[in-house]
Amino acid sequence: MLDIDLHCHSNVSDGILTPAKLISRAAQRGVEMLALTDHDDVAGLDEARSAAFEKNITFINGVEISVSWRNRTIHILGLNIDPDYQPLFDGLAAIRAGRAQRAQNIAVELEKAGIGGSLEGAYAYVGERGLIGRTHFARYLVEKGYAKDTKSVFKKYLVKGKPGYTHHEWAALSEAITWIAGSGGRAVIAHPARYNLGKNVLNDLLDEFSALGGCALEVISASHTAQQVEIFAAHAKSRNLFASCGSDFHGPGESFYDLGRLPELPSGCVPVWHDWNTFQNN
């Protein structure tokens, strides 16, 4: 069985490692096929692809797009995309502009809660591309002793109902899927168990996702329990959706799963990579 990981982050978004260092780590751990899926940006793909070529890792162009759907945030992975496809490229740029604005709003909210300097503090953790997210705020708040780790910061400050949370409108589901599919890629619902959708809402999401051209579910994810893996494998099978697997690795010490060595897809799932020309670097 190939060691495959189709979801991870570099410091182009909210990961810790540079794209090249991420690939080195993947190689050390025996990963044979990897997709880099930074949030809302494809800027790390060239560096990662060259590094992967050196290490004989099959590299898949990826991205994780932030989407608003029925007042919730959903993440849609684009796998095997063409990063130069203009509508995708422009759409991602617009989402990133929204992130900068949201960061200012988050800082205002944190200020109201008595936490000053968070915008500058968060930006100190942001990579060269300037993409800012809640994780960068979380790292700053850990640095300042507001919580013991980033997970605790999220719980205390950065999620709905907490002082540093602000509503933000991301891309529409239809936009994200259209950009991905239009670029020749496959749209995948990332970590579907994480949204805690009730049965009916989940069915609505899956209906709409499929109707718009989405074609896969991330069945294996660090966010999923063994039971959730089985549940989403069953959804994938009954709806003829492909199945994907990814660690969602962000950095040593910050993630539940390290790169690769993931559990196998349950039997009967059709892997999202089943017809990709593996062991060929593009």
Distance in Å, CB of 170 to ligand AMP, minimum: 8
- Which lies closer to Mn ion via its Cβ, residue 41 or residue 64? 64
Distance in Å, CB of 32 to ligand AMP, minimum: 25
Residue 33 binding target from ligand AMP, Mn ion, none, CB below 5 to 8 Å by type: none
Q: Which of 124, 123, 76, 84 is nearest to 103 (CA)?
A: 123
Residue 134 binding target from ligand AMP, Mn ion, none, CB below 5 to 8 Å by type: ligand AMP
The helix (run of H) or strand (run of E) holding residue 231 is: helix 226-238
- Position with the least CB separation from ligand AMP: 133
Residue 66 binding target from Mn ion, ligand AMP, none, CB below 5 to 8 Å by type: ligand AMP
Q: Which of 129, 162, 152 is nearest to 13 (CA)?
A: 129
Distance in Å, CB of 131 to ligand AMP, minimum: 9
DSSP letters of 67-94? Answer: EEETTEEEEEEEES--TT-HHHHHHHHH
Helices within 85-172 (DSSP H only): 86-112, 118-123, 134-143, 150-153
Give residues in contact with Mn ion (CB under 5 A): 14, 64, 75, 190, 248
How far apart (Å, rounded) are the C-alpha atoms in residues 66 and 172? 9
Beta 58-69 vs 171-172: how paired, if at all? parallel
Residue 151 binding target from Mn ion, ligand AMP, none, CB below 5 to 8 Å by type: ligand AMP
Q: How many residues does the chain have?
A: 282
Distance in Å, CB of 73 to Mn ion, minimum: 9
The b-or-e profile of 62-78 (16+ CB within 10 A means b, else e) is bbbbbbbbeeeebbbbb
- Which lies closer to ligand AMP via its Cβ, residue 142 or residue 270? 142
Give residues in contact with ligand AMP (CB under 6 A): 14, 39, 66, 133-135, 150-151, 154, 250
- Which lies closer to ligand AMP via its Cβ, residue 224 or residue 250? 250
- Which lies closer to ligand AMP via its Cβ, residue 210 or residue 228? 228
Residue 260 binding target from ligand AMP, Mn ion, none, CB below 5 to 8 Å by type: none
Q: Which of 99, 89, 94, 172 is nearest to 135 (CA)?
A: 99
- Which lies closer to Mn ion via its Cβ, residue 5 or residue 14? 14
Q: Which of 1, 4, 2, 21 is nearest to 250 (CA)?
A: 21
